[in-house]
């Protein structure tokens, strides 16, 4: 290998999570800061947490509620048929 072209390797590099967990690994960076680790990640903990960025979750929930209301207001095929039959009955009289 050519000398002086490879990055320095730190066998005891520390990783610090936002939750306070720290552990050591080998890396080319001496200190690493992360937001989520295996100690606080929902997949590993089983706890469901929503990381909301700029209110996107709230906007999504509002759209879902609006769509559900629209579905409730629409008539089923059976209701449409019954309505059409009742209109025909009124026209014949």
Residue 49: which pLDDT band, with cuts at 50, 70 and 90?
A: low
Q: What is the mean pLDDT of residues 32-49?
A: 81
Query: Residue 8 belongs to what domain range?
Result: 1-47
Confidence at residue 65, expressed as pLDDT on a 0 to 100 scale: 92
Residue 91's pLDDT is what?
61
**Domain count of the chain?**
2
What pLDDT was estimated at residue 36? 86
Q: Which residues contact 39 (CB under 8 A, 6 or more apart)?
A: 17, 19, 21, 45
Verify that 43 and 3 share a domain, yes or no: yes
CA dist 46 and 34 (Å) reads 20
Instruction: Tell me the backbone φ, ψ of residue 33, rounded to 5 degrees.
Output: -110, 125
61 and 79 both lie in a single domain? yes
**How high is the pLDDT of residue 16?**
94
Q: Is the pLDDT of residue 50 over 80?
A: no
**Residue 89 Cα to chain centre, angstroms:** 52
């Amino acid at each position: 290998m050519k000398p002086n072209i490879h990055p320095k390797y730190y066998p005891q590099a520390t990783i610090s999570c936002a939750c306070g967990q720290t552990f050591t690994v080998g890396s080319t960076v001496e200190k690493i800061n992360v937001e989520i680790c295996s100690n606080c990640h929902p997949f590993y903990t089983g706890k469901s947490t929503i990381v909301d960025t700029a209110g996107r979750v709230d906007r999504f929930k509002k759209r879902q509620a609006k769509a559900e209301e629209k579905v409730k207001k629409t008539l089923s095929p059976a209701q449409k048929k019954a309505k059409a039959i009742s209109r025909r009955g009124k026209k014949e009289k």
